[in-house]
A and B are shown apart, each in its own frame.
Chain A
């Protein structure tokens, strides 16, 4: 099987889904790129990071639609086109831009089905980039998926590798509900084996990337990579860490988390978003409320601080949860429980 990067997997899925269903259209800023310029090319970019490269040539300008910089109109038009029978894939370049189009996401597409009494379907996929790590500064680096996870009517996907990105994106495009598909920009060059043919991965099914007995480590998006590294490192010391990648934050595979904590009795949650009302808080509260009796140690959360993302590379590095911070959190919950065991033992 060929190794493909996250970028290649997403690009291939978009093309496959467009071939599979003529109702699938792609719209956004510079998804082709080049219109209105002085060179002859009408596909100069294929997206700012090349995610939509080649689509314009294959499917033409009525299915691969370059828009002005106009996020409210992009998302609103995707919603309207969906109500009119299309399956739009809208690109919101950076998730930080939800500030200028949140009404169309939160009040419009997320609510159509409910407020129209179940008589409307809104099969919109919004692809958007998340995450720090590229020195892009405070307004291009957020990991704001928890904000959208709390909105009823939306599904939120946070793939951590190329195989999942392909299967989850196909599911998103074929899904009849609106889906926010969060692509971590620091993952685009990460590669793994990805089948050429199309396939889907169901939402709400976590992937257990490392099996373990001592600690459950729940991580999202890029943090899954770091969590795996921690698990591998600690395995050499005989500490067995189970890593859970929920893959979607809404729906969230709560059972996978409960089953794991039932086994390990210890929970660490890693989330690149800011700490308050984060996925880390959500998972921690779920386990504290519903599975308290399983816990043998306090839950640990590893998140970004309650600050914007700084531009300076060293500060940004400090901002992002690191392998070292995650490892130390895992050791802490082990230590706490050991202390507790000693005290009661």
Chain B
């Protein structure tokens, strides 16, 4: 562990922002204020935070339908994200993308994606752009355990391997593809081994352990930036809530859910570790908690009050010119 105090605070802030954001979204959804439907990232925050800390604005990520945490960790503006989730004017996609399509090209965020497994080929394209131009840019795709079965993911792994692209495949095994357990749907049972078969390093790490993800990611990014090719990481972290908010999760036992809350909280684990090591004080993190709570309170209120898109917006942005 060689993180500075600033890096530790940065990592904690990225995780806490994701938690505060999605817990608030959960309550707002239950209260009926959020349009459409949302997929919460709670329990997996360490993965996005630790991964994106290694990336620059000029590096790219491809995301999933469960993308709020990825956006926040990559630096998307929280206020503009909330405007987008509420489908309002001024949202990151001007209200035309919604929760499952939040994107921000200025932050290298190539979009949350509502088609499971669609983002890895796109992220590979961003890696290919860096490789073609000879920069040290990298790209990363977040891939759920469900997406790990899609042909597009295998195609992306293979192309990245063949061309030795600066690419990182970040599998997030949260235990379930919608309502179906990974124990059932992952043939062979080992996601990391699948990626490994393409000739790239593919460690499996505890996705609730910020430091484990951070270390694995450091190696993958160093390999990518130095032109040695792609890597994969399988980060295992149980999803706290259902596939979408409102999913009653009849497929999970009470015992499992209790255990996830007991042992699967990346923020709690982080705090225990940094306190035990005397790297940070409680007060350091409490201050961040307070600040983010107030920020999100304020931005949710702004989003709710913001104007809807004009009807004319239906017709714009299909083409640049037609």
Q: Which of A39-97 contact B (CB under 8 A)?
A: 62-63, 65, 67-68, 70, 72-86, 88
Q: For B320, give its contact among A76, A88, A121 (CB under 8 Å).
A: A121
**For the complex, what is the distance from the CA of A74 to the CA of B152, rounded to whole Å?**
10
With A and B bound together, what is the CA distance between A166 and B113 in angstroms? 36
Find the B residue at minimum CB distance from A204.
B322
Query: Is B156 within 8 A of A73, CB to CB?
Result: yes
Q: Which residues of A contact B213 (CB under 8 A)?
A: none
- Given the interface pairs A114-B96, A117-B95, the reply to whether A83 lies near B118 with Cβ below 8 Å is no
Encoded as 1 (CB less than 8 Å from any B CB) or 0, chain A from 108 to 140 comes to 100011111111110000000000000000000
Output the nearest chain B residue to A77 by Cβ-Cβ distance: B125
B122 to A: closest C-beta gap in Å: 4
A16 at the interface (CB under 8 A from B): no
The reply to whether A80 and B321 form a contact with Cβ atoms under 8 Å apart is no
Sorting the interface of chain B by its residue count into under 10, 10 to 19, 20 to 34 or 35 or more gives: 35 or more
- Per-residue CB proximity of B270-286 to A under 8 Å, as 1/0? 00000000000000000
Identify the interface centre among B62, B91, B133: most chain A CB within 10 Å of its CB. Answer: B133
Is A169 in contact with chain B by the CB < 8 A criterion?
no
Contacts of B125 in A (CB 8 A): 76-84, 88
Residue A177 lies at the interface, judged by CB distance under 8 Å to chain B = yes
Of the 9-residue stretches B157-165, B247-255, B289-297, which lies at the interface with chain A?
Answer: B157-165
Q: Is there contact, CB below 8 Å, between A114 and B317?
A: yes
Number of inter-chain CB pairs below 8 Å: 158
Q: Are B162 and A68 in contact (CB under 8 A)?
A: yes
Q: How would residues 147 to 191 of chain B score, 1 for a CB under 8 Å from any chain A CB and 0 otherwise?
A: 000011001101100110000000000000000000000000000
Let me know if B156 and A76 touch, CB within 8 A.
Answer: yes
Instruction: Determine if B319 and A155 form an interchain contact, defined as CB atoms under 8 angstroms apart.
Output: yes
> CA–CA, A25 to B130, complex, Å?
12
Asked if A152 CB lies within 8 Å of chain B CBs, one says yes
Q: B105 near A: Cβ within 8 Å?
A: yes
- Which residues B86-117 have CB closer than 8 A to chain A? 91-97, 101, 103-105, 110-111, 113, 115
A73 touches B118 (CB 8 A): no
Whether B123 sits at the interface, judged by CB under 8 Å, is: yes
What residues of chain A lie closer than 8 Å to B155, measured between beta carbons? Answer: 68, 70, 72-73, 76
- B122: A residues at CB distance < 8 A: 76-77, 79-80, 83, 104, 108
What per-residue 1/0 map shows which CB atoms of B20-49 lie under 8 Å from chain A? 000000000000000000000000000000
A103 within 8 A of B: yes
Min C-beta distance of A203 to chain B, whole Å? 8
A77: B residues at CB distance < 8 A: 121-122, 124-125, 128, 159
Q: Specify which chain B residues have a CB less than 8 angstroms from the CB of A115 in the assembled complex.
A: 93, 96-97, 101, 103, 111
Query: Whole-angstrom distance between the alpha carbons of A62 and B158 in the complex?
Result: 17
Query: Which residues from chain B contact A118 at a C-beta distance below 8 Å?
Result: 94, 316-317
16 more A-B contacts (CB under 8 A) besides A65-B128, A79-B122, A119-B94?
A27-B128, A63-B132, A68-B159, A72-B151, A72-B152, A72-B155, A76-B122, A78-B125, A83-B126, A84-B125, A84-B126, A84-B137, A86-B128, A107-B115, A116-B101, A118-B94
Interface residues of chain B, those whose CB is within 8 Å of chain A, are: 60, 62, 91-97, 101, 103-105, 110-111, 113, 115, 118, 120-134, 137, 139, 151-152, 155-156, 158-159, 162-163, 316-322
What are 19 A-to-B residue pairs whose CB atoms are below 8 Å?
A67-B159, A68-B158, A68-B159, A74-B159, A77-B121, A78-B125, A79-B122, A80-B110, A80-B122, A83-B110, A84-B139, A104-B118, A104-B122, A114-B317, A116-B93, A117-B91, A119-B103, A119-B105, A155-B322
